[in-house]
Structure 1
Amino acid sequence: MADHLSKDKRSWNMSRIRSKNTKPEMIVRSLLHRMGYRFRLHRRDLPGTPDIVLPKHKIVIFCHGCFWHQHLECKRAAKPKTNTDYWENKLLNNVKRFKINKRELETQGWRVIIIWECETKSIETLTQIIRERMK
């Protein structure tokens, strides 16, 4: 199956994919703020540049896209059917890089919490998830 977009159009589309201030991240940030948590954003001095950092609690939160970080058994994590070698390598490297960064953060004494994109669809469910993982 060939890509239905031209190379230039595909490049333009890919350039619009954000790594910061994504919709799932904004939902998590808003909810954390309403729950009374205060935090910092995108601290570049920490491995992996966590999306949300709660220094008081020594917790970092990553808001992972299900596709980009290959959320196991999630329908949003389906691999593309074209250019499969490229995508398999790219997505595998994303997962490996995160594992290394997570290990380094834990070594430094941080607790790492992952919020998946699919978990941000229901505020009630997300509230429960955050409460459980922040314990």
Structure 2
Amino acid sequence: MFAFAQPRRARKPSLTPMIDVVFLLLVFFMLAARFGGDMALPLAAAGGDAAGYDGPPRLVSVKAEGALTLNGRAVALEDLAARLAPLMDAPDDMVVLRPKGAATVQELVRVADTLRAAGLSRLIVVEGQ
């Protein structure tokens, strides 16, 4: 006759590896959420702010590949703040940024950063065509 071996007692699975994975996922998502918060672009809302505007035109159109126009005339990014200066009474005067065509968000942000570095504080982005 054949003798069968004693059946082994069923082992309970260890929860330690699963808890490790859960904590790693928690840390990953906490860090990932933190990185996204720093990418905010401070802009003014154009709702009621632009409705009562009656000063000189300060429309900066951002086109593809970094091409810029100020009130319809081509301008280099380096010269933009100097060309805006005669049209401004104060640094908090409104400047309207309008992306056109295939302009990327990066190009729009580059223009906004350049104007902020020049001391202009009221930038409004309107929907382009």
Please, what TM-score do these two structures have when normalized by structure 2? 0.30
Bigger CA radius of gyration: 2
Higher helix share: 1
TM-score (norm 1): 0.29
